[in-house]
Structure 1
Amino acid sequence: MGKKIEISSKGYEDGSFQPYEFKRHAVGERDVLIEILYAGICHSDIHTARGEWGEVSYPLVPGHEIAGRVIGVGSKVAKVRVGDLVGVGCMVNSCQTCSTCSSGEEQFCEEGKTVYTYASKDVFHGGALTQGGYSNNIVVDEHFVIKIPNHAELEKIAPLLCAGITTYSPLRRANIKEGDEVAIVGFGGLGHMAVQYAKSFGANVSVFATSESKRDLAFSLGAKHFYNVKNSEEMQGLNNRFSFILSTVASSYEITEYTKMLKVDGEIVIVGVPSLTNPATLDATSLIWSFRRKVSSSLIGGIKETQEMVDYSVEKGIYPMIEMINIDELDQAYERVLKSDVLFRFVIDMKSLK
């Protein structure tokens, strides 16, 4: 058994971030030790850190958008080598043997053993709670390591491991094709990725957003139409318009406002998760009288699909718009995310962690 890995990080407790040192589990025979170079900030980091999705244990180290370099491997690791560029997303382990894991859907492990990157009970290492990517190193089972092409824009890769796969997966599974009318609700960290993917699949993309200042930017990323949801005139005449709607909204809204915009047999997929105290709502009566419109959800994607997404994104030049920060700017960055004061994803330069 190898030695546990000493880790430096910034942990969240008492409403702010502080330096926090802890130990990762030892590098096992199928584990990969990764030096974290960049870590993205996801809105779910904020929800979790502030207990908005339920109780959490502190100190908490968030971060499930990770890009780095392999600096150590276990004796039986075959997937990567020391020096390779790699990423880690929302999961770091699962049973890997049940039918869903075997079919590449590790996020839905039938044994209930999906281990998330932070704030998750690691059943494979004594039940310790996982700590995330706002840290210098991480140890991950090789199966959950994503390879990053050497020519990728590495500083922009980290957000793909959550924002990328969260939007790519439902769009790909909907078989979006040339000429389909697709709407993206919300134009933030997730929404701006969804626009790029939908456009690359050939769709006519419409964006629904609350900020008029983002209109031109939406067009520049491939949107054909932009609707300001605060403008009642713009929101008229849109019923029976779209075959597919992806909602990325992480605040309260009424879902059936958008189901009415679907064509018969159209589908709205929910990927944005508001806080428990400010949830989205669904009027069942209105839904029934919408006649055969479907409401479903999606949760990231499996490892195979995540690798596919990274390769596709790099090949097509689809990257998030980012603002690079030092780790000492975490508290301010969280407040700016809540004010939608970032275009569109903060990425932490982990060299700033001392």
Structure 2
Amino acid sequence: MATVETALGPVDVADLGFTLMHEHLMVKSANLHDQWPHLDDLTARADEVATQVRAAGDRGVRTIVDCTPPNMSRDVPLIRRIAAAATNVNVIFSTGVHPHFPVPYPFRYKAPEETTDPDRMAELFVRDLTVGYADTGVKAGIIKAGTDPVLDRENEMMLRAAARAQVATGAPITTHTRPKTKVGLMQQDVFAREGVDLSRVVIGHCGDSTDFAYLSALCERGSYIGMDRFGLDAPPWFRLTVEQRVDVVVEMCRRGYASQMVMSHDSMCWCDFLSAEEKETYMPRSRLTTIPDEVIPMLRERISTEEIQLMTIDNPRRIFAAGAGE
């Protein structure tokens, strides 16, 4: 039986079902709430997020991949609380590193040129995947890495750390990218040099792009691509509407790539730098239910049921089953 690790323990990959492959349940400013816990009741916020997760589950979503890595203030106890409350949805959490957030100083080289030490970071990722968080035994199920806006030497070290953890454990990698600079191809180059099978990689945020030559090139090298920002249509950062993102998915299906796409929202269900009112004002469709409520009905009018199942159920299952040795 092939299993994948979740916040509540291993689950048979056959039971993952409709999977949202790139979400953020809770995003916190580093150390802010540790130093000033009076600022918010995080357990209450986690319970509010659990309500959002249950709502997605009521619409058929069975698994959510939380792509919040440790340097983005991942909080495993809160993720477990959410998963325990939202009993109709599996939650897979990630290890790894996000390029927008600082890498802890002890994991940098000190000379001759300061940059990230990939081996020391990879050890931490491997521990999350094989031993688990602290002494809980609760393990991460995926490795997060990213590049934004361009690949520099330190970012390359972050990618190499993720790659080495992938090779050591078999866990899949999912990435943050800026498609405008085509960094997904650069990520693939780094991963390939480190010996990663590119079919074990999801190149993220590809739904931000209408450059079909770029998207096709990523797929031709064997990776999955994330159509994973449905609802993030607030300018100036996210310029494609839900409807335009559906157009991109339909065109990629027409080109024969349904078997290499996964879907999600990249939604921050709660974060301490964006109030609920601001989120509703600037990105009202960025929620865990937009794909089942809006996107799937649109897709049903334009592509086959089999293609929808590939992107929402079969492809995620294959991504995790390969790492489990199936």
The TM-score with structure 2 as length reference comes to 0.31
Whichever structure has more helix as a proportion of its residues is 2
- The structure whose RCO (Cα within 8 Å, separation 6+) is larger is 2
